Amino acid sequence: MRIPLSYSFRNLWTRRLTTMLTTSGMALVVFVFASILMLAEGLQKTLVETGSYDNVVVIRKSSVSEVQSGVDRLQASIIETQPEVALGANSQLLLAKELVVLISLPKRGSDKPSNVVIRGISESSLMMRPQVKLVEGRMPRQGSSEIIAGNSIAKRFKGGGVGEVLRFGMRDWTVVGIFDAGNTGFSSEIWGDADQLMQAFRRPVYSSVLLKLRNSSEFQGFKERIESDPRLTLEAKRETRYYKDQSEIMAKFLRIMGISLTIIFSLGAIIGAMITMYAAVAHRTGEIGTLRAIGFQRTSILSAFLIESLLLGFSGGCIGLFFASFLQLFTISTMNFQTFSELAFNFSLTFEIIYKALLFSLIMGFVGGALPAVRASRMNIVESLRAS
């Protein structure tokens, strides 16, 4: 009882120019939609890759990130004595009491200030983060005003290169090395001696304690002991979990913003599709009367025009996705909304995004085509035949 699919398809092909224009509008919206989802996905990936499964981050209870957290010296030393902490090659503890501070530094070129994470590190900090490698210069000497910068910082911030000097915390800090942290959030950080930085920023407490587990399976026991100890108001998370939690809030924010934005944009594309489909219905009035006279029901007319509009949306979706897929070749830097610092990452296209973008394009086609299709289906046979 259905009008063949080729009828809808060939009508779109017959008016190629209008079809192309309408499709481009939809493609543009799907492009924006997909790129924001890809952005959120890429961000999340970057942050999740920032952590290692065997590492545990200890921060103050209910502080979302290291920036808001505080761990005092006594609490830090209690953690230090836990049996689960792994030992390094020289039987030193694989544990780092770290400080995380946010400062504002001017960018190269524009001089515009932007937030940067300063991390005060201990000797073991680098050892516990195998994804971080010194690529230029040397490590800072303990007890000195020396720092190393992530490659993304060195590239984009004034005074971030080796031999250059950065001023913050009322001191001058000499950059003595550059480290590469791959595709992780550390690339956008500056590292220096924790004790020096605490003095400079007049901070009495650490921000977090990072430690490597002797045995990964001991995590649950360690966590329970730390979190139930009345002297400690701390919580322990696997490092991977810690960054995943952070990224989720941020990615969610991006997704909600992106989806609200594209819904507004999509109104334009939907109206475009609606105009095209109304024009098609008006142009084919006689044809609709003929099909009805031959014996096709109103519902067949309705679905033929709806399918036409869904096809419009679907092709817009495919084209938009096609162009969005090229974004994977670019690296972008943006604000980390959790710490309000800079973060560099890639767009990432997943099957879920493809499926969501196509669904979104079909919804646009449906919404745009619904009213015209209803009009087509409600036409009076005799009147539409007289109109031809």
Partner 1 sequence: MGSKAPIVEIRNLYKSYHRGNQILPVLNDITLDIDEGEFLALMGPSGSGKTTLLNLIAGIDKADSGTIKVSGVEITSLSETELALWRATNVGFIFQFYNLIPVLTAFENVELPLLLTSLSRKERREHAEMALRVVNLYDRMEHYPGQLSGGQQQRVAIARAVVPDPTILVADEPTGDLDRVSAMEILDLMERLVHGFGKTIIMVTHDPRAAKMAHIIKHLDKGVLNVYPQNHL
From 139, 244, 129, select the one nearest 187 (Cα to Cα).
Answer: 129
**2 vs 141, beta carbon nearer partner 1:** 2
What gap in Å lies between CA 265 and CA 261, rounded to an integer? 6
**252 vs 386, beta carbon nearer partner 1:** 386
Shortest gap between Cβ of 244 and partner 1 (angstroms)? 53
- Site residues (CB under 8 A) for partner 1? 1-4, 6-7, 10-11, 13-14, 286-287, 289-298, 381-382, 385, 388
**203 vs 298, beta carbon nearer partner 1:** 298
3-class SS of residue 19? helix
Residue type, 222: F
Shortest gap between Cβ of 24 and partner 1 (angstroms)? 22
3-class SS of residue 199? helix
Which residue's structure tokens are 């230029």? 136
Residue type, 362: L
What gap in Å lies between CA 133 and CA 15, rounded to an integer? 58
Shortest gap between Cβ of 2 and partner 1 (angstroms)? 7
Instruction: Label the pairing between strands 208-212 and 95-106.
Output: antiparallel
Shortest gap between Cβ of 336 and partner 1 (angstroms)? 54
**133 vs 386, beta carbon nearer partner 1:** 386
Strand residue runs (E) in 194-233: 208-212
Contact status, residue 325 vs residue 292, Cβ threshold 8 Å:
no
What gap in Å lies between CA 181 and CA 131, rounded to an integer? 6
**256 vs 293, beta carbon nearer partner 1:** 293
Shortest gap between Cβ of 286 and partner 1 (angstroms)? 6
Output the six-digit token pair for 115.
């937030």
Shortest gap between Cβ of 296 and partner 1 (angstroms)? 7
**113 vs 286, beta carbon nearer partner 1:** 286
| 45 CB neighbour count, 10 Å cutoff | 18
**218 vs 287, beta carbon nearer partner 1:** 287
Shortest gap between Cβ of 21 and partner 1 (angstroms)? 19
